[in-house]
Structure 1
Amino acid sequence: MSGIARASALAPFRIRNYRFQWPADLLTSWAFEMETLILGWYVLVETGSVLLLTVFASLNYVGTLVAPLFGVVGDRIGHRDLLALMRATYAVLAATLMTLALTGRLTPAWVMVIVSIMGLVRPSDLGVRGALVANIMPHDLLLGAISVSRTTMDTARIAGALSGAGLFAALGIGPAYVAIVVLYLVASLLTLCVVAPAKPHPADEFADGPLYRSPLRDLKEGLAYVWTTPRMRAAMWIAFLANLTAYPMSNGLLPYIVREIYGAQQTALGYLSASFAIGSLIGSMVLSLAGGIRVARLMIGAAVAWYAMLLVFAEIQTVPAAMACLMLAGFSQSLTMISIAVILMRSASEHFRGRVMGVRMMVIYGLPLGLLAAGSLIDLIGFAATGTLYAASGLALLLIIVLHWRADLWHVHAPANAR
């Protein structure tokens, strides 16, 4: 049995392109996590404001509203080329921050400006890499490939968080950013090693060619395609809800929780971030080995468990207990997000995948909205009450979504539950 499991987990690596894309995604995710932790702590220490911390965290996602346009571009020029260009952009912006830090000219204002620019591009990275995985993998390996691909983000939150916190504490922000720039550059080169298709997939069989079509028309078709497919629309609503009410607790607010609630330093921030990631990594690995799963039902059950863990987390007052709770929350989060991605990629036809994942990235806009609202609520009613409100309202809205689309999500014979 163990031999079968190992073969199943490693099966995606039989595909040459995947052997290059996976490490490229891994290094990019490591750099993302290091930047988020280092800059979040820097902004909080320099300004002392939880509201400015949530503003900073929100700026990382300003590009979610234009994410569908990245999907259109990916469908036109190829997802490999677009992904390599995006990662080269990250390297340039990180090098700018590195230079400012090493010359002593870095300020919170400069951080906000550069993060705003990066935030226009970065939210689309996950969607474009997902579309590329779907294009290079056979259908029977898609669930395993997406699960293994998800481990790049999970290991990043472990290694990236711990190494980022360690480098920042030991050497300062400038030397830490040297490592981040190197990670982005190597990731860009590995992405270029993926063999792209000879030409992008045609937008539809009646067009003279995708480059002669209106990008706005492509975008409208992608939005309509998602809206008229019930299981895809339901998955999108659940993804939006998770970003609005669940992710703020384990993403942008962690520096505030560590410093103000637990009275700890950046090493504790690394431990908490890594704990969530360890749980997420375990979830990804478990799902990569599993077979015959009714994916929509798994998505629902995992989302309920995620919110239950957040209800507990909102009341915890010590770092060790918070680490255990975040590990369980990360496990449930991983199962939820992988299930959503599988439902979308299995439902989307090949030439719509970029646009579908672009719409998927657009719903991440719920995260900056949730962060900004949380920053104001914490000042008014405190963290515990805000966390409880977010988790309880998210759970209630999740049940409403499931009841409304129960025929598409819960019934055994629904396409979303096909094994």
Structure 2
Amino acid sequence: MTFLAHVPALAPFRVRSFRFQWPADLLASWAFEMEGVILGWFVLVSTQSVTALALFGSLQFLGTLISPFFGMAGDRIGNRNLICLMRITYVGVALCLALLFLTGFAAPLSVFALATVMGLVRPSDITMRNLLVGESMPGDLLMRAMSVSRTTADIARVVGALSGATLVAALGSGLAYVVVCSVYVLSFLLSLNVGIKRLRMLREEPIRTGPLKALREGFAYVWSTPDVRAATLLAFLMNFAAYPLVGSLLAHVAKDIYGMDQTGLGWLIASFAIGALAGSIVLSIHGSRVRAARTMIASALLWFALNFVFSWVETPRWGELLLVAMGTAQSFCMVPMAVLLLRTADPAFRGRVMGVRMLAVYGLPLGLVLSGPLVEHLGFAITGSLFSLVGIVFTMLIASHWREHLWYSHAAANLR
């Protein structure tokens, strides 16, 4: 504990719940990334279809539309209980996939069916992580804890992508999935020790607002608050036009453009994650010096510009370097966006605002479903260029329309 007391970045680990939650979240994210590599490669090889690959990727975000309701369920049964139920679901689905691969019965249809089950639950994992940190962390450590918590996804994407590809190459998909199951089990066991038991205070009234009414109130608040509305629209745009090129479509880039195997795909994914991790670290150290809204807009434009260049690159090494830069731009866009929403939203509506923000992630499956057929008919270069140009145009329109709230230094969204 003495060491933790002298390192400010590690202060959240003084809280017992966080000492269990951070490794639990890291292991869950690690398993997510390994699954993405194993199943994405299987779908592409077995179907020889980029459209099928894009459809598979979109299924991973199917539950985005119901994600806000997971937070409401957590209020009723407890956030720890809910995240444990979610993670035991991951174990069950991964066990089914392991059996299919080990017995040789794995087929695209069965993989798609099980991916649908995962897609209904997995998008809410990040929401539950944030809620658990919020309920267990003292107020003076909350922002620091959220920053440290974010590193789990970036670290896991580096390690998970490389380890997933290596395991498949060395052991085959069946035994690789046994490892995935084991990682999920460890995550579940650690999750049993996170969070706190919420006690109802004397005379405290239960929340009577129904889930649909609460969601409507969240939409109304977002729509009537200019900077929050602009950030939410930009979040949808980034998910629709930027993330597809660095998500499931990377398997197509690795196999059909660069001529790489699973290990090569792992390096591409890891390159983007290394850039994202570097960006998160820089912001955790120097974040107080940046203006959130300006940084968000400038980084969004830079990310789209890098995506445009990446679409035309056919050399793996240059592609990896660009992916590092794209990952860094992603962190400088999305982290300030989250800070903007938390800083400017009314505390009474903050939970509902973040729920609406989660719905913006649905832009990603929409972008994947659209990009798959376009890649097959027009090629990756043209498709990536179109998505990047659409992103640049609409980012500039958002920045121009809400410039008083997003660009002026005295705006609330730009206060340091």
For Structure 1 versus Structure 2, the TM-score category normalised by the shorter chain is: over 0.9
Shift of 1:160: 0.2
Matches within 5 A, 1:19-418: 19-199=19-199, 208-210=205-207, 212-292=208-288, 293-348=290-345, 352-418=349-415
| SS, match of residue 51 in structure 1 | helix
Partner of 1:7: 7
Q: Compared with structure 1, are the counterparts of its residues 200 and 236 closer, same or farther at alpha carbon in structure 2 (3 Å cutoff)?
A: farther
Structure 2 distance, partners of 1:317, 1:303, is 24
| SS, match of residue 106 in structure 2 | coil
Residue 79 of structure 2 contacts residue 195 of structure 2 at CA under 8 Å; is this kept in 1?
A: no
Return the letter of the residue paired with 2:54.
Answer: T
Shift of 1:386: 0.8
| Bigger mean CA deviation after superposition, 270-279 or 132-141 | 132-141
The one of the two structures with greater contact order (alpha-carbon pairs below 8 A, sep at least 6) is 1
Shift of 1:199: 4.0
Q: Compared with structure 1, are the counterparts of its residues 347 and 191 closer, same or farther at alpha carbon in structure 2 (3 Å cutoff)?
A: farther
Residue 24 of structure 2 contacts residue 190 of structure 2 at CA under 8 Å; is this kept in 1?
A: yes
Q: Compared with structure 1, are the counterparts of its residues 140 and 235 closer, same or farther at alpha carbon in structure 2 (3 Å cutoff)?
A: farther
Return the letter of the residue paired with 1:151.
Answer: T
Q: How many residues align?
A: 412
Shift of 1:298: 1.9
Structure 2 distance, partners of 1:201, 1:371, is 46
| Bigger mean CA deviation after superposition, 132-141 or 286-295 | 132-141
Structure 1 distance, partners of 2:360, 2:100, is 33
Structure 2 distance, partners of 1:133, 1:350, is 17
Shift of 1:257: 0.8
Residue 64 of structure 2 contacts residue 358 of structure 2 at CA under 8 Å; is this kept in 1?
A: yes
| Bigger mean CA deviation after superposition, 345-354 or 385-394 | 345-354
Q: Compared with structure 1, are the counterparts of its residues 265 and 195 closer, same or farther at alpha carbon in structure 2 (3 Å cutoff)?
A: closer
Residue 158 of structure 1 contacts residue 274 of structure 1 at CA under 8 Å; is this kept in 2?
A: yes
Structure 1: segments with no counterpart, 5+ residues? none
Structure 1 distance, partners of 2:26, 2:200, is 25
Residue 78 of structure 2 contacts residue 198 of structure 2 at CA under 8 Å; is this kept in 1?
A: no
Residue 303 of structure 1 contacts residue 333 of structure 1 at CA under 8 Å; is this kept in 2?
A: yes
| SS, match of residue 198 in structure 2 | coil
TM value normalised by structure 2: 0.92
Shift of 1:330: 0.3
Shift of 1:16: 2.8
Structure 1 distance, partners of 2:81, 2:414, is 33
Return the letter of the residue paired with 2:334.
Answer: M
TM value normalised by structure 1: 0.92
| Bigger mean CA deviation after superposition, 288-297 or 254-263 | 288-297
Return the letter of the residue paired with 2:124.
Answer: S
Same amino acid, percent of matched pairs: 51
Return the letter of the residue paired with 2:343.
Answer: R
Residue 57 of structure 2 contacts residue 368 of structure 2 at CA under 8 Å; is this kept in 1?
A: yes
Q: Compared with structure 1, are the counterparts of its residues 94 and 356 closer, same or farther at alpha carbon in structure 2 (3 Å cutoff)?
A: farther
Q: Compared with structure 1, are the counterparts of its residues 179 and 354 closer, same or farther at alpha carbon in structure 2 (3 Å cutoff)?
A: farther
| SS, match of residue 314 in structure 1 | helix
| SS, match of residue 195 in structure 1 | coil
Return the letter of the residue paired with 1:59.
Answer: L
Q: Deviations over 1:306-365 (max 9, x none)?
A: 112111101111111100000000011012122222222334566655433332221111
Structure 1 distance, partners of 2:216, 2:304, is 33
Return the letter of the residue paired with 1:72.
Answer: M
| SS, match of residue 332 in structure 1 | helix
Structure 1 distance, partners of 2:31, 2:55, is 21
Return the letter of the residue paired with 2:388.
Answer: A
- RMSD in angstroms over aligned alpha carbons? 2.4
Q: Deviations over 1:109-128 (max 9, x none)?
A: 10000001110111111222
Shift of 1:139: 4.6
